[in-house]
Amino acid sequence: MSVDIRGKADPIVDRLGQVLQIYELERPEAQVALYRQNPAAIRIRIIDPHFAGMGRAERNDQVWDWLEAHWPGPDEELGDITMLLLLTPTEVKKSFGNMEFEDPVPSGFES
């Protein structure tokens, strides 16, 4: 699979997409999508069966550690990530976070 970049991309979103393609190569069952919600916010969703049995904090720690280890740009750019939604395939349909990811409330901060 390839990372699903939604909407207009910019250099940071493009770089995140490239880095997250490595994640998908390492975890072939994972599905990654991302988009820039506004000039200060990027949202990322990773659906990965590997998260089964893990709590939210453990998932979050693992993915942030992975991102920081693979990020080629300045650390400040990762600060644009305001949503890191980490789900198993069975959690997708019942996740309020996923509903917001799929149909976001418009941001008052337009790009």
Flag whether 55 is in a domain. Answer: yes
| Residue 110 covered by a domain | no
In a domain, 83, yes or no: yes
pTM confidence score: 0.91
CATH number at 56 reads: 3.30.300.90
Please indicate, yes or no, if residue 109 is contained in any of the structural domains: no
pLDDT digits (tens, 9 = 90+) for 52-77: 999 999 999 999 999 999 999 899 99
What is the span of the domain harbouring residue 95? 4-102
51 within 8 A of 43, measured Cβ to Cβ: no
Instruction: Give residues with Cβ within 8 angstroms of 31, minimum separation 6.
Output: 1, 4, 24, 46, 47, 48
Segment 80-97, tens digit of pLDDT: 999 999 999 999 999 999
pLDDT at site 109: 67
Residue 15 lies in a domain: yes
Question: Which SS3 state, helix, strand or coil, does residue 33 take?
Answer: strand
Rounded distance between C-alpha atoms, residue 1 and residue 27, angstroms = 10
Position 108 in a domain: no
In a domain, 47, yes or no: yes
In a domain, 14, yes or no: yes
> In total, how many domains does the chain have?
1
